[in-house]
Amino acid sequence: MKARLPQGMGKGPGSQRDMMRQVQKMQEDMQALQADLEARTYDIAAGGGVCKIRINGKKEIESIELDPVIVDPDDLETLQDVLVAGVNEAIRRVEDESTGEMNKLTGALNIPGLF
């Protein structure tokens, strides 16, 4: 059943119908942007470049490369620290870029649970 609006209502700029179209367009744009962000890859270097991490936009680690100089059996703590720092930086980079791109699209609207 279709609701009938009084004559002149629901038409023209600023109308409810126009606003719904804008919301739908923004939703479509956000879905496309989300797919693009998830397809991206990021290369992160940690520990002065001795640890290189590749992560995708879904926050999945794709690879970790270690320079042999960081692998010291007598100093595993340094290796562990470099790996933790690298993974944290990789996740932070993905989140920062995703948030920045979404904010550009939404005009920094703060919609709870959106992103």
Segment 84-108 shows an average pLDDT of 91
Q: Is the pLDDT of residue 111 over 80?
A: no
The CA distance from 40 to 53, in Å, is 14
For CA atoms 63, 67, 70, 71, give the dihedral sign: positive
The pLDDT score that the predictor gives to residue 21 is 87
Q: Give pLDDT tens digits for 24-74.
A: 888 898 899 999 999 999 999 999 999 999 999 999 999 999 999 999 999
**List of domains in the chain:** 34-106 (3.30.1310.10)
The pLDDT score that the predictor gives to residue 103 is 87
CB count within 10 Å of CB 46 equals 21
The pLDDT score that the predictor gives to residue 37 is 93
